Structure 1
Amino acid sequence: MPLVKQLTPAKSFRLWPVNTRPVSQRRVRKLRATEAAQLFSLLADVLSVGFSLREGLNFAHVMLPKQREQIKRIQAHLKQGNAFAIAIKTFVDLDCYYQIKIAEENGELTQVLTNLGNYLAIKQRQQQKIKAALRYPLAILGCLGILMVAIKQAILPELTSFNHTLVHMPVWGWWSLGTCSILLVLVGAGTLWLGHQPRLRRVVIGSYLPIVGPVLKLYWHYYLSLNLGLLLASGLQSRDVLKLLQTYQPESVLRQLADALHRHLNAGRDLGQFVDGYAFLPPTFKVFFNRGATSLQTAKDLKADAHLTYQRLFTHIENLIGLVQPLLFGVIGLAIVGIYLSILLPMYHAIGGLS
């Protein structure tokens, strides 16, 4: 028996499992709105000065360190021969993907990336403005809510013991509280129900809502005008565009809208009735598609319409943001009046009982 035993190397030990899958197979999170805006704007800028898409992504890999994992995945897809839209599909929402896909197939990628970058950046800034506008009024409303609870738990019982008669919060106060509770329950139930509806029906219902409805109409007006304009500019006829949209994913609004239009036309009805049946479809579509113009002329009209609607969309949103604080301060004023009445009316009854 040998005096010295050959030692076998100890097995390596790690506290955490190592991800040995290739980079192209690892799960990478979606791009946030701010990150997507930065990436699209940067790519649009470098493409407009003569960079190729691969060179632009290499440049973005250096300039945007937070998006490096996503950019690596996109570059891996491009090396495999996939289109840019396919490469970025998992990192953006479905509507954004189809906008990029249509633009790339029709040579308008730079312009659409510019629009998307601007849209997402402005949207992010507007969300920050809304949060800043809501912060102070909501803090005041929270303090008023605490004050209401303090009145019910501390002041009203004191008045009751002082007058030896039971003092209640005014009936209108309970009615207001009950109404607000019912409204919150209805809004929550409606939101859950809406989340289980097809995408097209959600868009239709959303376009009827009082405040966000006009914004949704303008957004879909821009989105549909731009994409239809790009498809028609490629030389496709209207029927060919309809068939192409029916090959898209069933979850997309473009596919669901194309299927609905196909059923509508097969039933022998005209386009004008279809446009009138969907609140978010612009009436200009009836003019553009029914006047007998060529596909190229219709494409020019749709692109011009999309450009004008794009500007109107953000102007409308800015105007809405300006109304947020005045409306909330009006609600705060009504709440303050209600709190004063909830204190003074029981005190009035207590003094009347003493006299």
Structure 2
Amino acid sequence: MSMPLVIQERFCRQSAALIAAGFSLPDVFAYLRVSLPKYRPIWERIETDLASGIGLPEAVGHQALAPILFQQLQLAQVHGDLAKALAVAGDYLGLRVRNRQRIGQLLIYPLVLLGMLVTLQVVVVFGVLPALALPQSHLVHTQLMTMGGGLAAGLLIWLGWHRLTLAQRLQLLQRLPGVRGVMQVYYQFQFTAGAAHFLLAGAEIADFCRHLITVGGPLGDLGARIQQKIQQGAELADALHEAFVPPEVARLLTMGQTHHLVATGLKLFGEQLFLQLQQRLERLVNLVQPLLFLLIGGEILLIYLQILLPLYQSFGG
């Protein structure tokens, strides 16, 4: 049984609120069994794993939930603020849910219009033109071949995407223009928010970097690179010179300010990065509708050509 993102968001927010109010994990999952009964088997599997001694991150990870949830729970094992980790994961999942809803809203009108145009085109090409004894334009065959090739390519891409591992998907996304910038801000947010939680819990930035290695994925690679630089004798400022570490964060960590001041600064900057991530995602989402309208414009042009060219040919042009 898979769990939709909107339910994962509710899980994070409800669990964070209950834990912050003093509820224990068994109480939290007892509440979830009542509030989200459809996913009772998942809650029971997590409880079974916890009862057998498996940690919460691993128990949640076994249910194939969003990676950010697993990463935040892993970090919470060290800095100790489970409610905050769940809240951070809930905020990001909420952002993804809103963007998906926004995409759906943007797609409704263009897709309906495109469907009507395709229907009109089929009626014209296979109904009106034969009834008028007019020849079909060569554009029909070209369009059919293009559509067939596009569908085949889309199917191959879909199959290939689902065969990739999570790490391979992330590497591929980081190479795409536009998406690369979003991914960078996302991991900068993850690094900054995690570092803030560690420092607020009294740990050092070196502890956070060492723990990142256990997280895996791009953040794990980042932690390994930073640790390697430090072991080779590099200064912290040089070791933090990475794409997933914002320059402002690196400067703040090496300014020699008090522990609490640095932690508070990281927390505030993490909130700014989250807003920046939200803005970048919204810009990407807003590109969907104009691209569809370009496709609609091309479809309208094809319909005109498929009507006018046969008429022109019938007049001896």
Q: TM-score, normalised by structure 1?
A: 0.70
Corresponding letter in the other structure for 1:350? S
8 Å Cα contact 1:152/1:169 also seen in 2: no
Q: Which residue matches 1:216?
A: 183
RMSD value over aligned CA atoms? 3.8
Aligned match for 1:329, one of 293, 313, 317: 293
1:257 aligns with 2:239: no
CA distance 1:39–1:193, change in 2 (3 Å): closer
Q: Which residue matches 2:31?
A: 59
Aligned match for 1:135, one of 105, 108, 117: 108
Q: Secondary structure at the match of 2:100?
A: helix
8 Å Cα contact 1:200/1:257 also seen in 2: no
Moved more, 79-88 or 259-268: 259-268
1:206 aligns with 2:177: no
CA distance 1:31–1:90, change in 2 (3 Å): farther
Distance 1:180 1:273 in 2: 47
Q: Which residue matches 1:48?
A: 20
CA distance 1:274–1:219, change in 2 (3 Å): closer
Gaps of 5+ in 2: none
Q: Secondary structure at the match of 2:301?
A: helix
Q: Which residue matches 2:86?
A: 113
CA distance 1:320–1:227, change in 2 (3 Å): same
Q: Which residue matches 2:74?
A: 101
Q: Secondary structure at the match of 1:35?
A: helix
8 Å Cα contact 1:207/1:213 also seen in 2: yes
Q: Quick check: which has more Rg, 1 or 2?
A: 1
CA distance 1:321–1:156, change in 2 (3 Å): same
Q: For 1:1-355, what aligned pairs fall within 5 Å after superposition?
A: 29-91=1-63, 92-155=65-128, 161=133, 168-170=137-139, 199=166, 202-249=169-216, 252-261=217-226, 270-271=238-239, 274-275=242-243, 282-289=246-253, 291=255, 297-353=261-317
Identical columns (%) = 28
Corresponding letter in the other structure for 1:352? G
Distance 1:189 1:135 in 2: 25
Q: Secondary structure at the match of 2:138?
A: coil
8 Å Cα contact 1:199/1:253 also seen in 2: no
Distance 1:260 1:149 in 2: 58
Corresponding letter in the other structure for 2:86? L
8 Å Cα contact 2:68/2:89 also seen in 1: no
Report how far residue 203 of structure 1 moved. 2.9
CA distance 1:246–1:233, change in 2 (3 Å): same
Corresponding letter in the other structure for 1:306? G
8 Å Cα contact 1:238/1:295 also seen in 2: no
8 Å Cα contact 2:182/2:281 also seen in 1: yes
CA distance 1:261–1:35, change in 2 (3 Å): same
Moved more, 253-262 or 299-308: 253-262
Report how far residue 39 of structure 1 moved. 2.0
CA distance 1:199–1:350, change in 2 (3 Å): same
The superposition leaves residues 277-302 of structure 1 with CA deviations (integer Å, 9 ceiling, x where unpaired) of xxx65444543455565665544333
Q: TM-score, normalised by structure 2?
A: 0.77
8 Å Cα contact 1:156/1:169 also seen in 2: no
Number of equivalenced pairs: 313
Report how far residue 265 of structure 1 moved. 6.7
Larger % of helix: which?
A: 2
8 Å Cα contact 1:233/1:299 also seen in 2: yes
Distance 1:272 1:254 in 2: 13
